[in-house]
Structure 1
Amino acid sequence: MGQIVTRMISLVLLGCVLVGCKVGGSATDNLTPGSIDAALIGLADASVEVGSTLMSRVDATKPVAAQPTTPPECGTGASPASEAVYGSEWTQFRLTTFQESSSTWDHSLTQAVGRYAGPEQARGAFLRLSDALVACGDRETVVIGAGGVTDSKWRNHGDVTSGEVLRWNAEQLDATTWRCFREVRLKQATLVQVALCQSGNGQPAAAAIADKLSSRL
């Protein structure tokens, strides 16, 4: 099962804390064709993709500040769905995290989508993230919590970097076999992110969800 430290960091690193987030709800509430809400993968479909029944949900409608890290230049890559990446120019933003339950889980799936007035702003956000990943490389990253206490320790392992796709996994060094498999897609004026945190290889499922989500936008 996901450990307590994993529970906290899986939410914060992906740009959602409990303050300012909605708990519960449905990915199909009040759908408008072509909207971000209509594009997001729902609980049932996500459960099929990850191979487990996901029942807990937390939502956010704006990115939060990135958590501080050591070294500081790794902060943006450690909080890829935060203000450090999406900035303040977005016109719409949605983030949703699914897990088996709110207290213990084996999978934590987050989808984040930011829509901008034009493709230039979306590409700017994409480049902020890709540049940050290069700057940090594979150095050990310590995420700092309240009071300067260490929340967790991570190391990035890069895979794909192109003009429209980023793929890497973040290994949690203080939680045995736990990794967050991250997928980023730049599609016109939107920046899409998917992260699937689990033990074992979650990359194929994360990529499939990211491709499905971006295809609906």
Structure 2
Amino acid sequence: MAVDQTGLNWCIEVRRRSITLPDVRYVSSVAAVFAAVCVLVASPAAANPVVPQNKIDSLVLSDDDVSSVVGLPLHRIGGVYPSPGAAPAGHDECQTLVSSDVNQWSGDFTAFRQLAQQDNPDDLQFSVTQYVATYPNSLVVARVFRHTFTTDLVNRCSSKILTDAGGNQWSVLGVSVMGAGATWKIAELQDGQDSSWHCAYQVQAKGNVMFQISECQFGNGTPVAAQLVDLIANRIPS
């Protein structure tokens, strides 16, 4: 959370001096006013969303944006979803690694976008899915991120075999959570064996935005996913 140190120091000094005033009622009322002011001075990131909800579409990568990174023309498949999917019954925390739903994004977002882009549905080689959500402020984003991406997720879910909503089985190849970001890879299984169709995921929290990229291909999609995440991150003011 961003902190205005000059304003914070001012608050501390005024607070210290006000304690010496003789009128207790006056001190109480002054303290209440200064407490409210200091919240705004010391934590502007919490008070002012960095990206307004009506600007969320400016963060979404176009077909040309994605194609330039992948190196092949990709096109949007299906519609743009304004809310995450419902969590299935008996949801396990590891399911987030194969099925992004409301349990990951919570119901606290102010705007949400999910869309998929692919090269050729009849001979699929590359598939990208974007998720972008704005929240009231950076504090809410931090809470939502920490709710899902925990050390326990890393310990419990690495190397686990999971089944997605379509009945496909996936092997988790590795999970990493560091700071305000998380990465993981999954491999689709056919007859219990690695099919070589791998999906690389990266999710980040920045400002009042949380966003995620999944990039699937035959091979290692991590470099592509990282570049796409950087493109979105660069559109969010620091």
TM range (shorter): 0.7 to 0.9
TM-score, with structure 1 as normaliser: 0.74
State which of 83, 96, 100 in structure 1 corresponds to 2:119: 100
Change (3 A) 1:177 1:66: farther
Partners in 2 of 1:94 and 1:54 — Cα distance?
18
Map of 2:149 onto structure 1 = 130
Shift of 1:104: 4.1
Query: 1:167 aligned to 2:212?
Result: no
Query: 1:212 aligned to 2:211?
Result: no
Matching residue's letter, 2:170:
W
SS in 2 for 1:95: strand
Shift of 1:130: 1.2
Query: 1:186 aligned to 2:186?
Result: no
Change (3 A) 1:191 1:104: same
SS in 2 for 1:176: strand
Partners in 1 of 2:87 and 2:65 — Cα distance?
29
The CA RMSD over aligned residues, in Å, is 2.4
Partners in 2 of 1:121 and 1:94 — Cα distance?
18
Shift of 1:55: 2.2
Is the Cα–Cα contact under 8 Å of residues 141 and 153 in structure 1 kept in the other structure? yes
Is the Cα–Cα contact under 8 Å of residues 93 and 148 in structure 2 kept in the other structure? no
Map of 1:141 onto structure 2 = 162
Shift of 1:78: 2.2
State which of 52, 63, 66 in structure 2 corresponds to 1:46: 66
Shift of 1:67: 4.5
Shift of 1:68: 5.9
Map of 1:155 onto structure 2 = 171
Which 4+ residue blocks in structure 1 deviate beyond 4 angstroms?
A: none
Matching residue's letter, 2:163:
V
TM-score, with structure 2 as normaliser: 0.68
Matching residue's letter, 1:158:
G
Matching residue's letter, 1:63:
P
Partners in 2 of 1:49 and 1:165 — Cα distance?
21
Shift of 1:123: 1.4
Map of 2:85 onto structure 1 = 64
SS in 1 for 2:187: strand
Is the Cα–Cα contact under 8 Å of residues 180 and 195 in structure 1 kept in the other structure? yes
Shift of 1:77: 2.6
Question: Structure 2: any 5+ residue segments left out of the alignment?
Answer: 1-51
Q: State the percentage of identical aligned residues.
A: 27
Question: Structure 1: any 5+ residue segments left out of the alignment?
Answer: 1-31, 146-150
Is the Cα–Cα contact under 8 Å of residues 66 and 83 in structure 1 kept in the other structure? yes
* Deviation larger for 43-52 or 58-67: 58-67
Q: After superposition, what is the alpha-carbon deviation per residue over 1:39-81, rounded to whole angstroms, capped at 9, x for unaligned?
A: 2111012112112211233321110123568x934223322x3
Structure with the bigger percentage of helix:
2
Matching residue's letter, 1:78:
V
Shift of 1:185: 1.0
Matching residue's letter, 2:219:
G
Higher gyration radius (CA):
2
Partners in 2 of 1:141 and 1:188 — Cα distance?
32
